[in-house]
Chain A
Amino acid sequence: MSKYFKQLLLSSLCLLFSTSVVFAESIVIKGSTTVLPIAQATLEAYMKANPGVNISLSGGGSGDGIKALIDKSTDIANSSREIKDKEVELAKSKGVNPVATIVAIDAITPIVNPKNKVRNLTIDQLSQIYQGKIKNWKEVGGDDLQIVVISRDSSSGTFEAWAEMVLNKAKVAPTAQLQASNGAIVQAISKNRYAIGYIGLGYLNKSVKPLTVNGVQASAKTAISKEYPVARPLYMYTNGQPAGGVEKFIKFVLSPAGQKLVAKEGFVPLAGTKEKSKKGKK
C-alpha cells in the first residue's frame, strides 16, 4: 500500500513540476521593507489575474536588494533610496545596468491632536522634539504642556524614513513611546492632546491634525513636486529596461489598478505625474 502511495506522490510531484516548467514565469523581487507592502499587494493581485506567474518576494533592505540585483540573483530590486554611485560602478563592472522606475511616493506627515494649537513645525524643531531636546509645546508656540513623543518601532520603513529625513540619523529619545502601526499612532494621537506622532500620508483621517512642515502641507501634489520635505520616491530597479514578465509586472504596478493598491497601502500614488520612469545614473 505504501508503495502505491509513494508512486502516487511521485507522479503528482512530477506533474506539478512539469506544469510549472511549461507555464510558470518566475520573477524574484528583493529589497526595501518600505516598498515591501506595495510589492506584496500588487503581486498578489497580479498573480491572481495571471495564474501561472510565480513571483517570490523578500525584504532585507534597499542595500540588500541592490546587492542582489548586481549579483543577478533578483529580477527587481526594491529601494527606498536612489542607487549610490559606488553601487552603479560595481554593477557596470559586472555587466549590470541598473534602471530605476519610480513606483510610488512615500510622504510622512507629523500629526497632533486636533485640540493642539500648533500648526507648523520646522524640520529642525521636529528633530529636536524627537531627540528629546524640546520637551514642552510652549517652546514651539503651543500651550504649556509636556510633549509626548510617539514613534514607530525602529525596524519599520516609516521610522526609517523619518529617521533619515527628519532626524538625519540622530537618535530618538528613549522616552519616546512606541506604536507598532500607523493605525495605532492615529488612535493614540486622537485621544491625547499632549502627543505628537508621524504617519504615512495614506493613514491620515479627521481624528487627527496634520502639521505643516516648513510651512508646506503634506499632500500628493506637494510630495511629488518635492516642495514637501518629508517625502521620497520609492523605486524598483531592474537590470536594463524592464522586459518580458518583469516589464508586465512593473506596468501593472504603474497602472491605475496597481496605483490604487499603492494608495491603499498608505503611499502616495503617482497619478498626475508624467515622470513615471527615470533612467539610472550614468
Chain B
Amino acid sequence: MTRSFREIIIKNIFAFFAFLSVLLLGLIVIFLFREGIPLFQQISVFKFIFGSAWYPTYDPPEYGIWPLIVGSLVVTLFACLIAVPLGVLSAIYISEIAPASVKEILKSVIELLAGLPSVVLGFFGMVIVAPWLQETFDLPTGLNIINASVMLAIMAIPTISSISEDALYAVPREFKEASYALGATKFETIIKIIMPAALSGISTAVILGMARAIGETMVVLMVAGGAAAIPESIFDSVRPMPASIAAEMGEAPFGSGHYHALFATGIVLFFVTLAFNLIADYISNKFKEVGSGTL
C-alpha cells in the first residue's frame, strides 16, 4: 500500500463521517416533511398556523396551533429577558474581571449547568418552584409562563455565557491596551471597546441560546402547565409546541390526522429554529470584525 493511496483512504473516511451527519439530518428532514405534509390535504396551512383551537382527537378534529406557537414564543422571550443579562454579564466577569482562580471555578460550574439533564430541571421546577410561586404570589397555579421561563433561562445561560465568553476572549489585546493608554478606566474599556468589538459574537450567543430555549421539550412539558389557550397574563399556563408533540405523539394513532398534525407542528418548530440559526449566522458574518479582531 503506497503512502498516497493510504492518504486517499484516510481522506475518504473523514469525508464519509463528515457527510454522514449531513445525510442523517437530510433524512430526518425528509421524514419530517413526509409525515407532516399530508395534514395539509385536510386543512390549509393558514388555518393550521393561525387556527386558535387545538382539538385533534375530537370529531371533527381542529388543528389550530396558534396558541402553541404563542406559548413557545412567550416562554422563549421571557427566558431571554432573564438569561441574556445573566449570561452576558457572567461572561464579561469571567473573561475580563475575575482573577484566574475564580475564573476556572466559574467556568466549570457554568459548564456543569449545561450538563444538567432537563428532566431534573423540570422536576425541580414542578416540585420546588411551582408550589413556592403559588404560595408567594397567591396564584391559582405555579405551572405557568414565569416558571417555565426561569427554567429555560437556566438552560440557556451556559450557551449564552460560553459563546459570549469566547467572543470577548477573541477581542485582541491591542484594543484593550490602546484604550488603557488613552486613560480609559477598566469599566469604560469593557463597555466602549470590548463589548462593541465582541457584539457579533454576543448576538450569535443570544440567538443560539434562544434556539436552545424554543426547542427544549422536557422542561416546558413539566412546568409550563400545558393549557392550549392564548395566555392573558404571565401567570397563565401555556403549552409550547415541543410539549404538545411530546405529550401526544406517544398515543396518536399512526397515520391519523392527529399524527400528521404533530409532525406538521414539528415542521413549524424546525423552521423557527432554522430561522434563528440563519440569523445567528448572518449576524456573525455581517458584523464580523476584520483584521486582528476576527473571532
Task: Report A's interface with B, CB cutoff 8 A.
Answer: 33, 59-61, 64, 145-146, 148, 153-157, 159-160, 169, 171, 173-180, 184, 187-188, 191-192, 194-195
Contact = CB atoms under 8 A, between A and B. Distances in A.
Contact of A59 (B141, B236, B243, B251): B251
Contacts of A64: 253
Is chain B's interface secondary structure helix, strand, loop, or mixed overall? loop
B229 A191 contact: no
A133 B141 CA distance: 19
Contacts of A169: 58-59
Contact of B142 (A154, A155, A175, A192): A192
Interface of B: 53-59, 67, 126-127, 130-131, 134, 140-143, 221-222, 225-229, 236-237, 239, 243, 246-248, 250-254, 258
27 contacts: A59-B253, A61-B253, A64-B253, A154-B56, A154-B58, A155-B248, A155-B250, A155-B251, A156-B251, A159-B57, A171-B55, A173-B229, A174-B53, A174-B54, A174-B67, A175-B237, A176-B227, A177-B143, A178-B226, A178-B227, A178-B228, A188-B130, A191-B127, A191-B131, A191-B134, A191-B142, A192-B131
B130 A191 contact: yes
A190 B140 CA distance: 13
Contacts of B134: 191-192
Contacts, number: 88
Contacts of A145: 140
B57 A154 contact: yes
A148 B247 contact: no
B254 A60 contact: yes
Contact of A187 (B58, B126, B237, B239): B126
Contact of A160 (B57, B67, B142, B225): B57
A155 B250 CA distance: 8
B26 to A, nearest CB: 29
